[in-house]
Chain A
Amino acid sequence: MSSSQQPNLRLERFKAVAGNQNSILLSVLIALAIVFTLAEPKFFSVATAGNILTDWGSIVLLAAGQTLVIISGGIDLSVGGTLAISGVTSAWVMSTVLGFDITTSGSDAYPPLLVGGLVAIGTGLLVGLINAILITKLRIVPFVATLSTMGATLGFAIIISNGMPIGGPNDFSLISPINPTWMPLSWAVIGVIIVVTAVGLFLHKSRFGLHTYAIGSNSFAARAAGINVERHLTKVYALAGALAGLAGFYVYLRLGAGSPSSGVMRELDAIAAVVIGGASLMGGIGRMMGTIIGALILFTVQSGLIMAGVAPDWKKVVVAVLIAAAVAAQTLRPQNRAR
């Protein structure tokens, strides 16, 4: 029987295909870094890398959840609002309820920060569950359901905070590069990398991930195969919400405050990262590694343009163009055109 040789062959083929997609994205990333360095030599520095990675940390958490949602055939427009309401709620609990203010710093801040982190994740989880109820119980299409929660979360974030950032305890060393001369990663970014890697492993290696792909690929077939589609989608939106809550806490660490405006338009960045990474908005297609590199490309472009002297107002335009380009590149790819 030749089947003893087949697994190796398959593995090779799989590596070739998966590697291909990622190496295209990596090449784009490297090419961008070279272009920006040629335009502005200061771009090539640990400081720039640190800035890009710090920006990346918040969006890649949103984008990781968004990847699951998009692969399942849905969309979550509420992640930016969820980030804001989670950061604000977390700050409010730490400062007003627990009574730790902005003067609590260093390791003294760890106990309240632990509570704050859990509150942020819990708040995000709650928003995710509300999305899930709107989508699976009330049968509202994801676009409209999450558009409503986006409005509601952004509104509540302002109501809770009276429109002003809420300061609280913090240890800024958590979010600063570990070593400014050679190590651009911060502990917070390392934490994000661990979380996103874990979510990626679940997506690609576990039953949970397989069912997510199956539902996005053909939800009737998934149900016919015995999958409880509603319950699974509930988990997907809840997880996306919890990750957005964690992103809210990350942004709190960055600002030392829960800011109601911190979530505005962040869903656009998250969707851009997922789409640049090669996921299909039709569902069933996407890879976590693509999203991770997609988010890096997004912030490399933004920070490169700013350093090259382009006015920051152009940022949103650039994100929009990147989304359009990525979707166009996807539909023009031969294997997708045939469908």
Chain B
Amino acid sequence: MKEVIYEVKGVSKRYGSVVALDGASLKLHAGEVVGLVGDNGAGKSTLVKVLSGAHMPDGGQIELDGKQVSWSSPREALDAGIETLYQDSGLAPHLTVSKNVFLGREITKRGLLGKLGFLDSKAMEEKAHSELERVGIAVPASNRSVSQLSGGQRQAVAIGRAVAWARKVIILDEPTNHLGARQAGEVLQVIKEAKKKGLGVIFISHTLPHVLEVTDRIVVLRLGKVVRDAPTSEFTGDTLVGTITGTIQTIPEEDA
């Protein structure tokens, strides 16, 4: 097995009195796809936000390449090569596709104007288009504002952006939402490509056949706790459903 690149140990997160994460742990190896599943409200998106630096956990540890880290903002996680597709609203609807792709990493003009922060919009448009094409995501003209796209097209842009920028880890929170069967298939393909390149992928979905098809390992969350963490080969569709809903009893593993 390859080395562990990203790991959380016993993280907890509360929203007021709601305990969203209760000592959850998860390991991700290079070139591995981990499926993260659980019922609505199980804490998947909260874990995503902890991993992406959007939320500070109340407790627990995060390790990147074996070194302890603590993200105080998404910027730090992005700079470390961790890209995230959020479940909802990861894009700015009033901006064009290309501006969304380059948001936070704009290309500026050369010389003095560039020093003043003036943008090279043309370069960004051309590159956005070719980058999205490169990762195998078909998107319409990149000069359209995102609010003018269909839900599926928006999703495609958000996925394309995450995959195009990722250098180490990609976290995809329900990426096949809003997608038709063919586009969902494209996304699974994109995940496999990323894996081949040695990236670690965390894939969240309620479509269990997709999870079974594309992942190496599945982590099941229930009420903020990890109730099962096992190779995908140990699950069938039925046992996975049973584990998620709790009809199949699991012995919660204590931290080693």
Residues of chain A whose beta carbon lies under 8 Å from any beta carbon of chain B: 3, 6-7, 10, 13-14, 202, 205-208, 210, 213-214, 216-218, 220-228, 284-285, 339
Contacts and interface: CB of A to CB of B under 8 A. Distances in A.
B110 interface: no
B126 interface: yes
B117 A208 contact: yes
Contacts of A10: 125, 141, 143
B74 A210 contact: no
A210 B91 contact: no
Given A213-B94, A227-B103, A207 B89 contact: no
A226 B77 CA distance: 9
Contacts of B100: 221
A224 B84 contact: yes
Interface string B93-116: 111000110011110100000001
B90 interface: yes
Contacts of A221: 86, 89-92, 100, 103
B75 interface: yes
Interface of B: 52, 54, 73-75, 78-79, 84, 86, 89-95, 99-100, 103-106, 108, 116-119, 121-122, 125-126, 129, 141, 143, 147
Contact of A223 (B73, B105, B106, B121): B73
B92 A285 contact: no
Given A10-B141, A223-B74, 16 more contacts: A10-B143, A208-B117, A210-B99, A210-B119, A217-B92, A220-B86, A221-B92, A221-B103, A223-B54, A224-B86, A225-B74, A226-B73, A226-B75, A226-B105, A284-B93, A339-B93
A339 B146 CA distance: 12
A222 to B, nearest CB: 6
A15 B121 CA distance: 15
14 contacts: A7-B125, A10-B125, A10-B141, A13-B143, A207-B117, A217-B93, A218-B89, A220-B89, A222-B103, A224-B90, A226-B73, A226-B74, A284-B92, A285-B94
A324 B104 CA distance: 36
A210 B103 contact: yes
A207 B93 CA distance: 17
The prevalent SS among residues of A at the interface is: helix
Contact of B108 (A13, A207, A225, A285): A207
Given A10-B125, A226-B104, A339-B147, A214 B141 contact: no
B103 A225 contact: yes
Nearest to A336: B147
B185 to A, nearest CB: 26
Nearest to A286: B94
A13 B143 CA distance: 10
A339 B145 CA distance: 13
B119 A207 contact: yes
A210 B106 contact: yes
A218 B95 CA distance: 10
Contacts of A224: 52, 54, 74, 84, 86, 90
Contacts of B79: 226
Nearest to B146: A217
Contacts of A213: 92, 94-95
Nearest to B101: A225
A284 B103 CA distance: 14
Contacts of A206: 116-119
A284 B96 CA distance: 12
Given A7-B122, A207-B119, A218 B93 contact: yes
Contacts of B129: 3
Nearest to A208: B117
A214 B146 CA distance: 12
A10 B117 CA distance: 23
Contacts of B143: 10, 13-14
Contacts of B105: 226
Contacts of B126: 3, 7
A214 B95 contact: yes
A330 to B, nearest CB: 14
Contacts of A216: 94
Contacts of A284: 92-94
A3 B132 CA distance: 14
B74 A207 contact: no
Nearest to B129: A3
A290 to B, nearest CB: 15
Nearest to A7: B122
Nearest to B121: A205
A30 B230 CA distance: 72
A163 B1 CA distance: 78
Pick from A10, A202, A217 the residue with the most CB of B within 10 Å: A217
**Listed residue (A207, A223, A284) with the most chain B CB atoms within 10 angstroms of its CB:** A207
Nearest to B92: A217
A284 B95 CA distance: 8
A205 B52 CA distance: 29
